[in-house]
Amino acid sequence: MAGGKIKRSSGARLQGGIPFEKSKGQHILKNPALVDSIVDKAGLKPTDTVLEIGPGTGNLTKRLLEAGVKSVVAIELDPRMVLELNRRFQGTPLSSRLKVIQGDVLKCDLPYFDICVANIPYQISSPLTFKLLSHRPIFRCAVIMFQHEFAMRLVAKAGDSLYCRLSVNVQLLSRVSHLIKVGRNNFRPPPKVDSSVVRIEPRKPLPPVSFKEWDGLVRLCFNRKNKTLGSIFKQKKVLALLEKNYKTMQSLQLTSDTETGNEKMSVDDVALLAHMVDELNMETGEEKDDDEMEMDDADMRRELPNSAKLISCIYCHSSTMPESCPSVKNILLLDSEGKRVAVKYYTEDWPTLSAKLAFEKSVFVKTQKAAAGTEAEIVMFDGHIVVYKFIKDLHFFVTGGEEENELILASVLQGFTDAVYSVPYYIDKRTALGNLDLILLCLDEIVDGGCRGFLWKGQVDVSGGHCLAAWDTRGAAACRVQLPATAIDAMVRPSQLYLTSYNSAQALGWFVAFLRLLPCLVPPVSVHSSYAVAGDLVCLLQTWAILETVHAAVGLVHTAPLLAFLQWGGRTHFVLAVVRQIPEVQSTTSVFITFMAWSISEVIRYSHYTLTTLKVCPAWLTYLRYTSFIPLYPIGVGPGEMWTMYQALPFVKEMDLYSGLFGKFSMSYHSFLVAVLACYPFLWMKLYLHVFKQRKSKLGKVGAKKRA
């Protein structure tokens, strides 16, 4: 492209002249001491043929060749890395023992090898593990770098919280041991997760069991969270299903090999396991202790003495199950306070509104400690896998079952965020509320009945219109939505125009109040004249702020209406019911302190709201908005509002203020004001901490966003 620049994809990172692509899991191991340790723990022999998967630039490859093995076969998907490998070893004595194969390791036939040593892309961990275990002839061992969480599930034992179907099936076919935990800084570019090196030794001979039947048994055992085996197999539905399938088995006259335990696991069984590994990807099992497991085994034997028949019945159940698909249970779009912006539920796991709201609140609280940015994060919560990411003041969540594929859920999340972000070209809470129709359209198209995920891409055509094109997970075109820019602008313009006008007017009004108060600091004008010069304007602006309670009540802004009303009511009571009605307190220094603290904080706050609505708010103003309150709020409340009300108490009692209003009650306004003063510190502290929480949400993830 003459005269232009080549735009590098967002997923690529340039390191040493080669752009590494995160989508391919390209994180090169750069620590030579760690490379040496991996090779040493592999136990290589001079007669070994070593298989390396994903060699990258060849750091591990070089060390394997230097260890004196017979040969190294490296399988690499990226043609650029293949060229780099050939260039690195060309003309060296090591090149004669190196064979590089370009291709997808999951699709190509594996060559003969004695041992596998690899730092693999983590997204292929499950399928690759089971493909290796299905390889014939059986290799001696594999030393592989996995994501730490995946590795811990591989080596988990019965009774561990991470013990799951993945653990059971891998340990059925092999002996697994953990070798080294590897920090993320040992890679270039560093991933967002830690890693672990695991040793896998296939069992010889294979266990005498049919995997089809075994998998059916394991499915039932891990199908219920926190259930014991005894309770699972005592359920009426399970017993009825087993009885039905047992009769089916008898009618088909199955051979007695399974009953006598003489059938051995075949290569086809292991291949079937490799075909089903997408369902096992990164699962988490249930927490059991050894005592429970022993008791449940006994219960199972008492209920169904013929365990071979039991397994055969379960096989009938598993073979008649519908073909699985990536199941999305819900999609949540929440604001920075955990309040709803838009949600969709696809299952009946949460049958009532209160259950849904409780789940949303709980998952929001659980994910607040994570420094999630624009990259997806994963958490196990209440028997579900939740993938999530944060963009500005919006939190995106996609929830699936604990046995779902995390990569598929993450792709649905990415599609959702891409689609929502592409609609208005700028996404935050206010924009999302103004585009709910389009967001719900995105939800309906991305997840079809909770079963199909779409990947969305946003584009802009030459006419300025917004175009959303969707592809399903197989890459086939699914739908295309043309959204003219004028239509989108028309959806957001009324509320945007109104909020801009209101916030700018408030900012201007408080700025005028601030300018009127400034001369009070310089003689001959005194701070005791603050109410005389700015009191009427402050009363007007504070009364006008009742509209903010209306905004929250009608959903124009996503703020709790009660919180907005309490904040407005407290200040309005102060200026109208106390200061305006008692001339003696209008000339106090505490009134000047209150008005000055209010005017400074409100100029900053409303200016921030105005520019945010216009989508041109600078970062420094956002920082100032969520930092200036730290000194201003305590100053305005302590020596300002509370001290003023305390000074007003004698005059309230002397004037018997509001006696007509409070005469119907057993208390006077004086007693009411004393009660307000007693509660004021606690109510103010609650509001103060609430703003601190907002500050953490807005500014606490700056580092994560910079890294992203």
pLDDT at 428: 63
Question: 271: how many CB neighbours lie within 10 A of its CB?
Answer: 17
CATH fold of 211-319: Helicase, Ruva Protein; domain 3 (1.10.8)
C-alpha to C-alpha distance for 652 and 393, rounded to whole angstroms: 45
DSSP 640-692: IIIHHHHHHHHHHHHHTTTHHHHTTSSS-HHHHHHHHHHHHHHHHHHHHHHHH
Q: What is the CATH number of domain 12-202?
A: 3.40.50.150
Which long-range contacts link 606-612 to residues 24+ away (Cβ below 8 Å)? 606/503, 606/504, 606/506, 606/507, 606/510, 607/503, 607/507, 609/499, 609/503, 609/507, 610/500, 610/503, 610/504, 610/507, 612/428, 612/430
Report the interhelical angle of 530-544 vs 546-554 (nearest 10°).
20
Binding residues for S-adenosyl-L-methionine: 27, 29, 54, 76, 104, 119
With vertex at residue 452, the alpha carbon angle to CA 450 and CA 456, rounded to the nearest 5 degrees, is 115
pLDDT at 451: 40
Q: Are strands 328-335 and 394-401 parallel, antiparallel or unpaired?
A: antiparallel
- Map residue 117 onto helix, strand or coil: strand
pLDDT at 152: 94
Binding residues: 27, 29, 54, 76, 104, 119
- Map residue 310 onto helix, strand or coil: helix
> What per-residue string of b and e applies to 272-307 under the rule 16 or more CB within 10 Å gives b?
bbbebbebbbbbbbbebeeeeeeebeebbeeebeee
pLDDT at 567: 83
Q: Where are the beta strands (DSSP E) in 168-317?
A: 174-182, 187-188, 195-202
C-alpha to C-alpha distance for 77 and 55, rounded to whole angstroms: 10
Taking the CA of residue 357 as centre, how many other CA atoms within 13 Å lie in the half-sphere pointing to its CB?
4
C-alpha to C-alpha distance for 649 and 398, rounded to whole angstroms: 55
The β-bridge partners of 178 are 198
Q: List, run by run, the mean pLDDT of 10-residue segments along the chain (708 residues).
A: 36 52 74 92 94 92 94 93 91 93 91 95 89 91 94 90 87 93 88 92 82 74 69 76 65 45 49 48 35 31 34 37 55 86 84 89 81 68 84 84 74 74 55 64 56 36 36 37 39 72 94 92 83 92 92 78 84 90 90 93 92 83 88 89 90 82 72 87 82 72 41
Q: Where are the beta strands (DSSP E) in 244-393?
A: 328-335, 340-345, 377-381, 384-391
pLDDT at 446: 60
pLDDT in tens, 161-204: 888 888 988 999 999 999 999 998 888 888 888 999 999 999 98
pLDDT in tens, 614-644: 878 888 888 898 888 889 888 988 888 899 9
C-alpha to C-alpha distance for 82 and 87, rounded to whole angstroms: 9
pLDDT at 340: 87
Side chain identity at 338, as an amino acid letter?
G
- The answer to whether residues 316 and 309 touch, using CB atoms and an 8 Å cutoff, is no
Q: Kindly report whether the global pTM for this prediction surpasses the value 0.85.
A: no
Class (C level, CATH) for 328-483: alpha beta
For the chain, domain boundaries: 12-202, 211-319, 328-483, 495-707
pLDDT at 598: 93
